[in-house]
Amino acid sequence: MRNYREENKDRARKMGLIFFPAFDWAITPTHPEREERLLYTRDQIFEEGLMDLPEVEEYKPRLADYKDIARVHFCIPSAESLVTEAHLIAAGSTLVLADAYMKGEITNAFALVRPPGHHSMRVAHGNRGFCNVNNEAIMVEYIRRKYGIRRVAIIDTDVHHGDGTQEIFYHDPDVLFISFHQDGRTLYPGSGFVDEQGGPKAMGRTINIPLPPETPDEGIHYVLEELVLPILKDFRPQLVVNSAGQDNHYTDPLANMRFSAQGYAKLNEMLAPDIAVLEGGYAIETALPYVNCGIILAMAGLDYSNVREPDYHPGRFSMSRTMEANIVSTVEYLQGIWEAREELTAKAVERAGPFFRRHKDIFYDTDGIREKQTESVKMCPDKSCPGYMTIDTDAARGYGHSESGFGVFVPLFACKRCREEGREEYEAHKTDSRYNYIFFQDKNADDFRLYSTRMHNERVY
């Protein structure tokens, strides 16, 4: 199997950058996700002259196709009505960089774009945690489809648990998802605990590292050094993606961590992601200009030691003994999970029976939607087949109005039998009047269909 990560390592260093601040797009005029968010970042990185550096190549964004979205999401009522042009551009930016990276034009890339995406799940009824569609997932599935790679690692470094990305790849043994974040008991979205470890066939491929509030650089670098990097070494991904939130910063207004611009730059140097995609980060003056400057310099292989916030000095934040003990024990526990992933997988598959089922309640904070889901995954006897999945969804917007749907998802590396059964399920549900929308996703055939049971029409992507 070709390992683009290895191949790209020895090329002359050049990072690809798309800066898309969407200066004419906001969720609402005073929402954190507004025009002003990257304004001071623009000032800082342009004033530094970073775009002129021979180590930096600036690319122009493009719009993603609706098909790129359908490759990941079951959008209700449709992708066209759920995403704005700004979302298509943010997602499209990651695809431009993905192509440039895969073709070897650049050694690594940073999509410094908004709006973000990592809270968007497979089924999307609206905006959750400022996200409509999942930029990283759209990019990963695009790359896997177009360039035939299989093993991908996504490291979510946002302060919030990357619950959307986790959910999309939960049953995929070829996608390693690692998220470190402020403990879900103290922060949105209230998930990302150590016992969320992946579906039965992908145990240990989801690793959640909840960290105590006020964890400084030192704590996150410890996690990286002791847990994340060794796991990556074992997993040998063909592509490493940093889902790069900037809200671990000590001045972020929506969270409580103690990370600095130096810490972020060093994180990217240590992790050496192939492609980083911006997620959250709302300290638009005190953090973002410095954090982004640091990340760009680190990814371009340049000295970032002179990047610092005006009120920062080394040693400003330190860890208490209790905090250190807490992090060490989390890391030790997860090391054990990783080591035991094969046994855990075998046991979980055995326990699940022919189908693995779970119920989920999902809340869309931004749009005020309450969704109920039942997810069902076939425990295919073929060991290398992840099995097809169905999701039964019902979402209530406010009081009284609700939309329901049934989605069938056939993964990229599914066996022939699962592909056939998946298609049969889709056909059979077209006449099921309990649902408003039926969705079919066959990643292997790159065939995506949305059927409206009220209008009796099918949209093929």
Binding residues for other proteins, per CB under 8 A?
A: 18-25, 29-30, 34-36, 39-40, 42-44, 46-50, 52, 58-63, 85-86, 89, 285, 289-290, 293, 297, 302-310
HSE of 148, CA atoms in CB hemisphere, 13 A: 2
| Token digits of residue 327 | 């992090």
Minimum distance from residue 300 beta carbon to other proteins (Å) = 10
DSSP annotation of 226: I
Give 139 or 224: the residue with its C-beta nearer to other proteins. 139
Give 55 or 324: the residue with its C-beta nearer to other proteins. 55
Minimum distance from residue 7 beta carbon to other proteins (Å) = 25
Give 117 or 387: the residue with its C-beta nearer to other proteins. 117
Minimum distance from residue 411 beta carbon to other proteins (Å) = 32
Give 42 or 459: the residue with its C-beta nearer to other proteins. 42
Give 35 or 226: the residue with its C-beta nearer to other proteins. 35
Q: Cα-flanking dihedrals φ and ψ of residue 277, to 5°? A: -130, 125
- Round to whole Å and give the CA distance between 242 and 136: 9
Q: Is 31 a catalytic residue?
A: no
Residue 124: which of 136, 137, 134 has the closest Cα? 134
- Round to whole Å and give the CA distance between 410 and 443: 6
| Token digits of residue 406 | 């049934």
Catalytic entry in 119, 125, 160, 429? 119
| Token digits of residue 357 | 């089922």
Name residue, tokens 């993905």.
Answer: 98
- Given a contact cutoff of 8 angstroms between Cβ atoms, the answer to whether 255 and 223 are in contact is no
**Alpha-carbon distances, residue 118 vs 38, 161, 260, 295, 367 (angstroms):** 18, 9, 22, 19, 16
Q: What is the CA radius of gyration of the chain?
A: 21
Minimum distance from residue 345 beta carbon to other proteins (Å) = 44
- Round to whole Å and give the CA distance between 442 and 269: 37
- Round to whole Å and give the CA distance between 261 and 429: 51
Minimum distance from residue 32 beta carbon to other proteins (Å) = 8
Minimum distance from residue 14 beta carbon to other proteins (Å) = 16
Residue 181: which of 256, 271, 102, 95 has the closest Cα? 256
Give 260 or 404: the residue with its C-beta nearer to other proteins. 260
The amino acid sitting at 84 is T
Positions marked active-site: 119
